Structure 1
Amino acid sequence: MKFEIAVLPVSDVDRAKDFYEKLGWRLDADFETAADFRVIQLTPPGSAASVIFGTGVSDAVPGSMRGLHLVVDDVVAARAELVDRGITVSEVFHDEGGVFHRAGTAGRVDGPDPERRSYASYASFEDPDGNGWVLQEITTRLPGR
């Protein structure tokens, strides 16, 4: 099995489309088959998985997705690129426990992981509805990954 799609709940489809295109994501589809059904699919650069949002594709509360992760080779550079694109992104952080970041902002320590260990440095941002994304730096994958 391979993970393919995350469905994002959004309140304004065109605003969301503009935001994700501003991130530099590829527009794969924009189909409207009825006034109450529109599907938009975008894919982050280098990713095999995509996001879908639109009209009539989710009954979740707009902005209710949290903890969606984007893997990057260099979290500092990836953050800078998003900021250059006009996106509001948190400062780079690591978790005080060093295993995985906590929900919200609890346990955040400023700066990348001091040892720059894989899986341990992050930055976060939200789309216009508040769906939460995390940039996670991975330079060496765990065995079997």
Structure 2
Amino acid sequence: MLIVVTGPPGAGKSSYIQSHAKPTDIVIDLDLMALAMAGPGADHHDHSDTLLAIVHRARYAAIREAEQHLDKVDVYLIQTLPSAKQRAQFKRLEARIVVVDPGRDVVMQRIENMRQPAMKAVATKWYKAQRGQSRSVIPPRDWGW
């Protein structure tokens, strides 16, 4: 099964996966992939354009390959802001969508404390995209925070 974990930057998407995925599951997380490809001591969230270009291509290939194995293994995919085309693909694949959102105030404070300032714009875009959408939100208290 494909489990798409979405939410704004700093919401806790990676933490959700850490508390739910099994060792035999596949996890496709851009930040983890970037860390795996970066040199020692690299920042967890601030990646160069060159590294991101390489990681995006590797991520795309990983997603395509993982789709071929959804009958054998659970695949967790972090997708902050899925496009309409991606949402259609997730529907076709009968993906389970998990929205992690501890609330705008919490997210903005986490970005202030732990992320690059540019992530505030991404979070704002995420919240604007959510207006009027019906969704099930997984608050952090439900999974161990």
Q: Does the pair score TM above 0.5?
A: no
Bigger RCO of structures 1 and 2 (CA < 8 A, at least 6 apart):
2
Q: TM-score, normalised by structure 1?
A: 0.25
Structure number, greater radius of gyration: 1
